[in-house]
Amino acid sequence: MELLKELMPANPGHAGEQAELHVSQTSATALGLALEYLPVRSAAELEAALAEISKLHCEAIVVFPDAGTMTYSGRIAAFTSKTGIPAMSGWAPFAEQGNLITYGPDLRDAFRRLATYVDKIFKGAKPAELPVQQPTKFELVINMKTAKVLGLTVPQSILLRADEVIQ
């Protein structure tokens, strides 16, 4: 939310959905932003949500990252290019598919760490005895091509924090 506000002056069924929604609502309130929650679990719900976003004249879209919503990244990018409404999510592939910005766990790092768990399990470790690990590496990815299409100037303060800038 902070990145979107700085940039723009002015699957819902996944396990972390409710926590993400709560944090988003809290952040939006603290930043003086209004939030509309439009859950999407299917292509039909996506189309209905995009129509509602247009109808409500939303200024930005935040997509909670999960495997389901990431399958719609390209469709969301086409919508944002057409409407001029920027979209943000938490996984780098979202920006790589043509959306404006992502900030979240580095998936490549997470998958590498996951491989060590698989190795331990194959060597006899009991999954229930392995500690739960939180992501330790996060990345900020900005798609400058999309920023240009949307007519946005990305502040230097955001560019300097970016791990990747897609030109």
What pLDDT, on a 0 to 100 scale, did the predictor assign at position 88? 97
Length of the chain (residues): 167
Task: For each of the domains in the chain, give its residue range(s) and CATH number, in order of start.
Answer: 2-104+137-166 (3.40.50.2300)
Backbone angles phi, psi at 142, to 5 degrees: -120, 130
Q: How far apart are CA 101 and CA 52, in angstroms?
A: 22
100-149 residue pLDDT tens: 999 999 999 999 999 999 999 999 999 999 999 899 999 999 999 999 99
pLDDT over threshold 90, residue 58: yes
Can you tell me the distance from the alpha carbon of 97 to that of 79, in angstroms, rounded to the nearest whole number?
12
Q: In sequence order, what DSSP letters do the residues of 7-54 get, joined into one string?
A: HS---TTSTTHHHHHHHHHHHHHHTT---------SHHHHHHHHHHHH
Share of the chain above pLDDT 70, in %: 92
Residue 91 predicted with pLDDT over 80: yes
- Cα 161 to Cα 153: distance, rounded to the nearest angstrom: 15
* End-to-end CA separation in angstroms for the chain: 23
Q: Are 65 and 76 in contact (CB under 8 A)?
A: no
Can you tell me the distance from the alpha carbon of 13 to that of 43, in angstroms, rounded to the nearest whole number?
14
Span 85-98, mean pLDDT? 96
Rounded mean pLDDT, 3-23: 72
SS (H, E, C) 98-154: CCCEEEEECHHHHHHHHHHHHHHHHCCCCHHHCCCCCCCCEEEEEEHHHHHHHCCCC
DSSP single-letter state for residue 95? H
Which pLDDT value is given to residue 14? 67
* Distance, CA of 84 to CA of 152 (rounded, Å): 9
Q: Chain-wide mean pLDDT for the chain?
A: 92
Q: Does residue 9 surpass a pLDDT of 60?
A: no
